[in-house]
Amino acid sequence: MDATPGLTHVPIGVLSPERFSGVLDPLQEERFRAAVERVGKAFEGRIVWNVNSTAQGGGVAEMLRSLLAYARGAGVDARWVVIPGTPDFFAITKRIHNHLHGFPGDGGPLGAAEREAYRGVTEPSARELTELLRPGDVVIVHDPQPAALCRTAKEAGAVVIWRCHVGLDRPNDLARGAWDFLRPHVLPADAYVFSRRAYAWEGLDGGRVTVVPPSIDAFSSKNQQLSEEQVSSILAAAGLSPNGETASPTFAREDGSTGTVVRPATLHGDSGTLPNDAPLVVQVSRWDRLKDPLGVLLGFATHVAPRSDAHLAVVGPSVEGVADDPEGADVLRETEAALEGLPAGVRARIHLVSLPMEDGEENAAIVNAIQRRADIVVQKSLAEGFGLTVTEAMWKGRPVIGTRIGGIQDQIVPGLTGLLLDDPLDLRAYGEAVLTLLADPARAREMGREGQRRIRDQFLGPRHLTQYLELISALMGSGEEGTRDSPAEPAIG
């Protein structure tokens, strides 16, 4: 394989955990404060390294950006490095990702040649990371791409955590094959962290398994409160609103400065701008077959458009801006082709949107505005590790229609915060769910309010950070928590 550059050190801001004092309930705030107060002694003189494969695009990068900033604000020397890769390497790791979800992906193998190619890219990164480590440092390795770094980090004297954000409730042979590929690399880790108990692999020491569901940052560019004027102005500045008013396309950046949306989104095919005066259904996700943008489009065209005046927006990142997902361009082309084949009247009510990725916070602000413009948010995934777009939409008070898979079912309480689809391939059921909420706006709004309360109680950053601090403290022998699943694991249901 081609030579690759070295590790990239990602800049991390510093955010005070105190900003959550007005968001959490008293019990949550007390526990978070107690965990933060223990940090100084437990982490003194240690660096907590996080390793993944991209600094932007996808939920892992978003979570790291905010969680590490809060960790630094709590006195932890948290750092973030990104491993390099080649197109061939990312094709292999995307295959692994798909297999972990139980899907064949590109249909290629995970044999001896792929193992050798994988090692060829990860070994230089492992050696480089080892040179940075000091005994007692902590290394959290995220997902398949850098999994090979677990062993060398452990050999260098670090405390090592393998963090897997994807999984399958009922594993099949494809998933087990991916486990076999990765297991030798991750076995040396001191702890294995999964988003759901069902995702824990066979062949791992169950005593080292911890469940830590993901979270969102309530104050990030993607999730901060926006006024109606800001929403309208941001959409206009991105070329997504027909009114053209851009008086205040602004948002608060992580460092406290004011950001302004200046880059336009791309409307594919003959997609027009989003309507001002019609209900809007939205799905935001990567251009990934497992997110099923094609099914979202066809189900709406067939079952929703003929019986309502609603519009649909299928929104994803610019495919050039997500380096570790080589299938994105193909999926976008497939979705564009499907749109072009629809009757003109239906086509005019479906909007395919790619968002600029040059500035991650600008991208997030546009997503924020689109989700707040939505009347209903959909996440009709065929497979899902957790589904942070569901979390984001619920935090914004939007009712969500999702599939009963993965972490989506941990978030949506059917009939209370949204609706769940038992079969992700049943386009009629998806259409009927959308029509049900369109026909009862009052119920939809109440679902949104209940959803926001649920996210506040279970899926914000303080709970997530507290679990990590408690786990790391226990692994270093300085924490009071004797187990890794309880009391740290939240009650989700």
Cite the DSSP H helix spans in 44-86. 59-73
Does the pLDDT value for residue 43 go beyond 90?
A: no
Transcribe 349-367 into DSSP letters: TEEEEEE--SSHHHHHHHH
325-362 as b/e, with b when 16 or more CB fall inside 10 Å? Answer: bbbbeebbeebeebbeebeeebbebbbbbbbbbebbbb
Distance from chain centroid for Cα 38: 29
Q: Which pLDDT score is estimated for 359? A: 94
Q: Which pLDDT score is estimated for 27? A: 84
Give the pTM. 0.89
Mean pLDDT in residue range 276-298: 96
Residues in the chain, total: 493
Does the pLDDT value for residue 413 go beyond 60?
A: yes
Q: Which pLDDT score is estimated for 479? A: 38
- Show Cβ contacts of residue 223 under 8 Å, excluding neighbours closer than 6 positions: 216, 217, 368, 392, 395, 396
The pair of three-digit structure tokens given for residue 328, joined into one six-digit string: 């994105």
Q: Which pLDDT score is estimated for 321? A: 66
| Rounded-to-integer distance, Cα 98 and Cα 46, Å | 35
DSSP 8-state secondary structure symbol assigned to residue 303: I
Does the pLDDT value for residue 247 go beyond 50?
A: yes
Tens-place pLDDT, residues 182-211? 999 999 999 999 999 999 999 999 999 999
| Rounded-to-integer distance, Cα 7 and Cα 121, Å | 11
Q: Which pLDDT score is estimated for 387? A: 94
Q: How confident is the model at residue 356 (pLDDT cuts 50, 70, 90)?
A: very high
Tens-place pLDDT, residues 458-472? 999 999 998 998 899
CATH number of 8-215+460-475: 3.40.50.2000
> Between these two residues, 72 and 246, which has the higher pLDDT value?
72
Mean pLDDT in residue range 174-181: 97
Phi-psi region at 289: left, alpha or beta (left = phi > 0; alpha = psi -120 to 50): alpha
Q: Which pLDDT score is estimated for 1? A: 36
Does the pLDDT value for residue 373 go beyond 70?
A: yes
- Show Cβ contacts of residue 246 under 8 Å, excluding neighbours closer than 6 positions: 233, 236, 237
| Rounded-to-integer distance, Cα 488 and Cα 481, Å | 8
Q: Which of 238, 285, 292 is nearest to 62 (CA)?
A: 285
Tens-place pLDDT, residues 5-16? 799 999 999 999
| Rounded-to-integer distance, Cα 485 and Cα 302, Å | 45
Q: Which pLDDT score is estimated for 323? A: 62
Q: Is 307 helix (H, G, I), strand (E, B) or coil?
A: helix
Where are the CATH 3.40.50.2000 domain residues in the chain?
8-215+460-475, 264-458
Torsions phi, psi for 259 (to 5 deg)? -100, 155
| Nearest 10 degrees: Cα torsion 171, 89, 47, 23 | -60
Does the pLDDT value for residue 90 go beyond 80?
A: yes
Tens-place pLDDT, residues 148-173? 999 999 999 999 999 999 999 999 99
CATH architecture of 264-458: 3-Layer(aba) Sandwich (3.40)
Mean pLDDT of the chain: 92
- Show Cβ contacts of residue 442 under 8 Å, excluding neighbours closer than 6 positions: none
Q: Which of 436, 425, 390 is nearest to 409 (CA)?
A: 390
Q: Is the preceding omega at residue 213 within 30 degrees of 0, hence cis?
A: no
> Between these two residues, 396 and 1, which has the higher pLDDT value?
396
